[in-house]
Amino acid sequence: MSKAEGSRDWDKEMAAIDKIMAAGPAPATPPVAAAQPSRAAAAPSGGGEVRRAAAPGRYARLFTWVRLVLGLALGAAMTQWPYTHGCGVPLFAYLGGVFAVLVAALWSSVSSWKTRSAVAHALSLALFVWGAFLAAREILPRIGYAKQPAEWVCTAPPSRGQ
């Protein structure tokens, strides 16, 4: 490669960069322009600026862990459900508790994803699997997927006088 083809005047280029840096930050773009970046700004080769997601709030990680701990406590407490839940209203109350476990797992999973907390996210996914197991344990026998079928609604016991 000859000197004319491959050489660059680095001093000129660095001086131009220094001049741009000395001018300070670029003025803020209006919200409409920020919401719809141009293709040139989005493309890495277009010389556009790379925008990063905003950092999580001050207490975001703390609240992520609070949500997760409450969900884990509820998931553990479901194993100690104090009432029979074979059929009828007690069954639907139990399934409501299982639904709450699943919602708590999803909520803490989204929160942990946003705060980039890997351990909390893994625990959230484990809580979701636990909630799905609890739900499957009650629902599958009632939809005919088990050897011993179960009923959704309790049938009245036969009367003793007949």
Percent of the chain with pLDDT over 90: 38
In single-letter form, the type of residue at position 37 comes to P
162 vs 130, residue with greater confidence: 130
Cβ-Cβ contacts under 8 Å for 149 (sequence gap 6 or more): 141, 142
Per-residue pLDDT of 40-59, as tens digits, reads: 445 455 555 666 666 677 78
Alpha helices of 2-156 — where are they, by DSSP H?
Answer: 3-6, 10-22, 31-35, 39-42, 60-77, 88-114, 118-139
Per-residue pLDDT of 3-20, as tens digits, reads: 555 688 889 889 988 888
Q: How confident is the model at residue 60 (pLDDT cuts 50, 70, 90)?
A: confident
Per-residue pLDDT of 82-133, as tens digits, reads: 777 788 888 899 999 999 999 999 999 999 999 999 999 999 999 999 999 9
